[in-house]
Amino acid sequence: MQNIDYDMKVKLIHGFSNKTRIQILESIKEKEKTVTQIVEELKGNQSNISQHLACLKGCGIIVGRNEGKYIYYSLRNQHIRDLLTMFDVVLEDVENDVARCDRHID
């Protein structure tokens, strides 16, 4: 049996546990984008979006590619894309329960 590092698992899941980070991930799910493009799409604050991008990159969920003066952000790989899709599938199945859950801790 494989030894599970729960702390590492929690750190990874934390990368997905913020509304803005999820919006960013959905924004770049199909196509890489610059910070400016993401900010415009989300109608967000550039500084805030950049902080969330740094978190996602630090967690290994996204990667950045330099081209000239721009950095293009994309999902790290197909596994991350699949995981985002799986979140949607699971949520569809348990949405009513999640909506009623009063034990969520921020």
Look at residue 70 and tell me whether its pLDDT is greater than 80: yes
Residue ranges of domains in the chain, CATH in brackets: 6-100 (1.10.10.10)
Q: Give, rounded to a whole angstrom, the gap between the first and last alpha carbons of the chain.
A: 33
Whether the CB-CB separation of 52 and 20 falls below 8 Å is answered with yes
Distance CA 84, CA 87 (A): 5
Averaged confidence pLDDT in the chain: 93
Rg of the chain taking only CA atoms, in angstroms: 15
pLDDT (average), residues 37-65? 97
**CA–CA dist 46, 53 (Å, integer):** 10
Percent of the chain with pLDDT over 70: 96
pLDDT for residue 54 is more than 70: yes
Whether residue 106 has pLDDT greater than 70: no
Q: What is the per-residue pLDDT for 1?
A: 52
What the block records as the tokens of 105 is: 């801790």
User: Which of the pair, 97 or 38, is modelled with greater confidence?
Assistant: 38
Q: Distance (Å, rounded) from C-alpha 87 to C-alpha 19?
A: 13
pLDDT band at 98 (very low <50, low <70, confident <90, very high): confident
The whole-number average pLDDT for the span 87-97 is: 93
Tokens standing for 89? 């599938």
